[in-house]
Structure 1
Amino acid sequence: MLPFSLRVVWFCLSFTGMMTCWAVMLSFVRAVESYWPLVYCVGCTIMHGMFCLGMIYKMEPFRMPRSFCIAQSITMGLGVFLMTGVSASFAIATTFAALKPKTWWEGGKGLMVWRRIYIYPLFVFPFLATVVQLGITLRFDSGVQRDDLHCDYSDPTCYAGIPWLVTIPCLYLSIKAILRILKTNKHLQRSRDPDLDVDIDTFTALPRRPKHVHMARAVSTSSSSPPANLQSISRQPSSPALTNATLTPRGFHMPFQPPALNLDTLHYSRSSHASDELDSPISSNFPRFANPPQVGTVSLDPDRITVESTAPPNEEWREILGASDTPDLDKASSLKWNEDGDKSESEYVKGDDGFDTEDNYSGTYPTRAAPRSLGTTSRKARRPLPTLTPAVYRIITFQLAFTIVQPLSSISTLIDVIRHKPPAPFGTQHIALLISAWGPVFIFSKWPDARRLYSLWLPWK
């Protein structure tokens, strides 16, 4: 005879496991946005509820009426069949997920979508198995009271192996899904060529310059002249028939390295006259003009353009060409250094010729084209490799654990059949009884999405 303390311990563990299973599974179905897995909780409640009702008779089958004993056997069997059907449906769901890796991006929300095929393991199998069990129990009067924690159909003993009819296919689907997932992961790793994942930015990196360092403008006055190296830089007009005094700037793409700074120019710019409007910013791409004489002409073509001027000695040459046209020349005649080295090239404004430039008076810097303009050299950034969602991992672990529980619950029965002895009062089937309630708690409670939800009901978690 089993001690009453053991019966009390099993009653407490069974009841708390049933309630905790509901809390965790409710969080799980909300996370995956599908509610049919709650059928497992229904089966768990039916089985453990009838088991706990045996406490009315102190969990001693000899004290239970025959009608209650038969009802307890049939009802607990129905709960086992329902949970077995849910495990089979999980195996089908994970098999579909393994065959369709694109669903791995959905974060598990599309994993438990309802499919008509689930009707057979969830409803058809439990109904047929219960009908067969009821017929055998009434025909062979197998609901015999024995020393146990509950009444159970024990004659014929082989009927206890009915869940194996579904457990074996579940085990096959689980192993097939795992092998398929491993094969898919290897294929995804091989398809990603590491040589193609290198940075396509093969140009010289942008130079880093302190924010307080700026290139000063080159200035010229009537009393002093700029250094000789600036006077020697000049360019002829691109066309002898130029009819506008405002020159149109041209953009160039020089992706290799920025031009070196001339220390003489910087020294001269800092020590020159305080006026900033004595000369325009000068780029090596555009012509240089000397200040006009006090009375004279500025000619771009001797036969076409002659601008008379009576400007005083300190008058700026751009006032002779026309004040209304000089802003365009000033704006496009220079490029600037990247003032902060951390600035991305994508922040540069599109220039007139389709190259990335940014107009400012801080200096001269040749920028490169955006990666998308490099033609076949650039490659569209790949999104990361798909990985199996935590929901699939948890479900595969659950169905494997449930598959292991079935042999565990049958070990004592198989030993009794081999030895030709009556069922033992306490065996592995009683351990499997508790695992069926606490299994989802141990497996799904570690899933972050479910933990955030069931923590509302279980503050001690």
Structure 2
Amino acid sequence: MLPFALKLVWCVLCTSGTIGSWMTVMALGSSLGSMWASLSFCIGLTVWEGMFCLGMIWRMDPLRMPRAFCVAQTVLMEISIYVLGGLTTSFCIATSLHILKPKKWGDVAASFRWRSIYIIPAVVYPVVASAVQLTLVFKFDAIHPTNDMHCDATGPLWVRLVGHTIPLVLVIPSVYLSLISMRRVVRTLRHVERARCDDNELLRQMRRERRGHKTTEPAELADSASRRQSVDPAEAVTRLDFCLPFFRHPRSSARPPTPGSVKSNGEDYRRTSVASSSFPTFAPIGKPSAEAGDDIATVASPWLEEESNAPTSNTGHEELELDVKTHEEDDEVTYRLGYRERAGTPSKVSHLANVPAYTPQIQRLLVFQVAFPFFLVFTSLSSIIDVAAGRTAPTPFGTHHVVLVTAAWGPALTFGSLQSVRRQIRAAFWRR
């Protein structure tokens, strides 16, 4: 006979694990937007673990249990195993559908909604498996009390073997889904890491080009400045397409042109001028002064309104002014390189920018998916060994007893550390 202390410990572990799994699985379902699977799983787990723990009324001794309770315990525990197996397979399918689309890793709820394909593992499989097992149990009158923790179909012993090996039909699809999911996760993370390295190398190359760029000679700067000062104001306005918004115009006694005159002069110029094939010359960047502030604001405003990506807030102008002060000695080309680098360069992984943020969640889903087929094989291991050894009675303490505890604590240990799950649990307790 098994010691009563072991039975008591097993009962406490199964009860506490079931309570923890209720909180974890329901919180996970709330975060995934899939309450149908979470609620069904928790009900199936409660029936399985509850019928096992009810045996404590008779000190978990099948020889003391009434016949009616033995039959009910055997039937309900068998059905619960098939229901849990079908629901877990549906969860594995949903996990694979979610993992195979890395661009939608942020939209978890879309993958875990009810689909018609889930009818086969969640409904058809439990019904067919239960019908086959219960037919064998009642046909051969296989329920007999033995030295165990709960009643089971033990005479003949191969009936219990059939009941424990029926879930193995789920191993092949589960393993296949696990392998393709693992392969996709590894490839996605490697792609993101490689693309980020390329993106960082582009930034480093831009910095090297900026540091190695030679500034314009002072004589050329002076000559360019003199040529720029001789330009007529009306013509200067028409050349806004070749000037940067932060260009500082020379001071003039005339009032700065109004936006209306700028627009009219620009339209007249576009209608009458002929495009030049020579590359435009750029004026040097001077340090902005207090007197030129109004002029800068007047000329830069139309340009900023046309460019949607340029900074239009006060913070953006402050950054431009800070850059001018820092790079007083640089020419205009160097300044544009610095501005573009700070404004942001297009990333090759922009569509996967948040992939690392979802990695912990994906890892937990993948761990649960990979562990499921191992649990199925481990559950039937003792029955296979007993039948292969030619025993007439089952082993008093087998692998299926270990699975009772791991099934109770597995969801809580796997998903309990997720930030979204902890947030849902805290919110549920705070509302109370």
Which residue number corresponds to residue 77 of structure 1?
Answer: 78
- Pair 1:113-2:79 in alignment: no
Q: Compare 95-104 and 186-195 and name the one that shifted more.
A: 186-195
Greater per-residue helix proportion: 2
Q: Deviations over 1:281-334 (max 9, x none)?
A: xx8x7599xxxxxxxxxxxxxxxxxxxxxxxxxxxxx5xxxxxx44669xx999
TM-align CA RMSD: 4.3
| SS state at 1:412 partner | helix
Which residue number corresponds to residue 153 of structure 2?
Answer: 153
Relative to 1, partners in 2 of residues 1:125 and 1:196: Cα closer, same or farther, differing over 3 Å? Answer: same
Q: TM (normalized to structure 2)?
A: 0.68
- Pair 1:406-2:376 in alignment: yes
Unaligned runs of 5+ in 2: 213-221, 263-282, 290-295, 305-309, 311-316
Matches within 5 A, 1:366-445: 380-382=346-348, 383=350, 384-385=352-353, 386-387=355-356, 389-421=359-391, 422-445=393-416
Matches within 5 A, 1:124-139: 124-139=124-139
How many equivalent pairs are there?
352
| SS state at 1:45 partner | helix
Which residue number corresponds to residue 177 of structure 1?
Answer: 181
Matches within 5 A, 1:106-255: 106=107, 108-154=108-154, 155=156, 156-159=159-162, 160-187=164-191, 194=198, 198-199=202-203, 203=210, 253=243
Tell me the CA shift for residue 453 of structure 1. Answer: 2.0
- Pair 1:86-2:87 in alignment: yes
Contact 2:152 2:160 in 1 (8 A): no
Name the aligned partner's letter for residue 43 of structure 1: G
Q: Deviations over 1:65-116 (max 9, x none)?
A: 222111111100111111111221122112212332222232x333312211
Name the aligned partner's letter for residue 300 of structure 2: G
Contact 1:78 1:126 in 2 (8 A): yes
Q: Deviations over 1:195-253 (max 9, x none)?
A: 68513575579xxxxxxxxxxxxxxxxxxxxxxxx9xx9679969xx9x9x99677675
Which residue number corresponds to residue 269 of structure 1?
Answer: none
Name the aligned partner's letter for residue 78 of structure 1: I
Which residue number corresponds to residue 104 of structure 2?
Answer: 103
Question: In the aligned structure 2, how far is the partner of 1:415 from the partner of 1:236?
Answer: 94
Q: Deviations over 1:259-296 (max 9, x none)?
A: xxxxxxxxxxxxxxxxxxxxxxxx8x7599xxxxxxxx
Unaligned runs of 5+ in 1: 206-229, 259-282, 289-317, 319-324, 340-346
Which residue number corresponds to residue 314 of structure 2?
Answer: none
Tell me the CA shift for residue 194 of structure 1. Answer: 1.2
Name the aligned partner's letter for residue 41 of structure 2: Y
Question: In the aligned structure 2, how far is the partner of 1:326 from the partner of 1:35?
Answer: 70
Q: Compare 57-66 and 386-395 and name the one that shifted more.
A: 386-395
Q: Deviations over 1:166-221 (max 9, x none)?
A: 1332122212221233234445556677168513575579xxxxxxxxxxxxxxxx
Give the number of the structure with larger relative contact order, counting CA–CA contacts within 8 Å between residues 6 or more apart: 2
Question: In the aligned structure 2, how far is the partner of 1:57 from the partner of 1:162?
Answer: 30
Question: In the aligned structure 1, how far is the partner of 2:194 from the partner of 2:81?
Answer: 44
Tell me the CA shift for residue 54 of structure 1. Answer: 1.2
Name the aligned partner's letter for residue 24 of structure 2: V
Tell me the CA shift for residue 63 of structure 1. Answer: 1.3
Relative to 1, partners in 2 of residues 1:349 and 1:62: Cα closer, same or farther, differing over 3 Å? Answer: farther
The alignment-based identity, stated in percent, is: 31
Question: In the aligned structure 1, how far is the partner of 2:85 from the partner of 2:128?
Answer: 13
Contact 1:157 1:417 in 2 (8 A): no
Relative to 1, partners in 2 of residues 1:238 and 1:33: Cα closer, same or farther, differing over 3 Å? Answer: same
Which residue number corresponds to residue 2 of structure 1?
Answer: 2
| SS state at 1:163 partner | helix
Tell me the CA shift for residue 37 of structure 1. Answer: 2.5
Matches within 5 A, 1:285-296: none
Q: Deviations over 1:16-74 (max 9, x none)?
A: 11111101111101111111222221110110111111122221111112221111111
Relative to 1, partners in 2 of residues 1:37 and 1:247: Cα closer, same or farther, differing over 3 Å? Answer: closer
Name the aligned partner's letter for residue 351 of structure 1: A
Question: In the aligned structure 1, how far is the partner of 2:251 from the partner of 2:14?
Answer: 92
Relative to 1, partners in 2 of residues 1:181 and 1:146: Cα closer, same or farther, differing over 3 Å? Answer: same
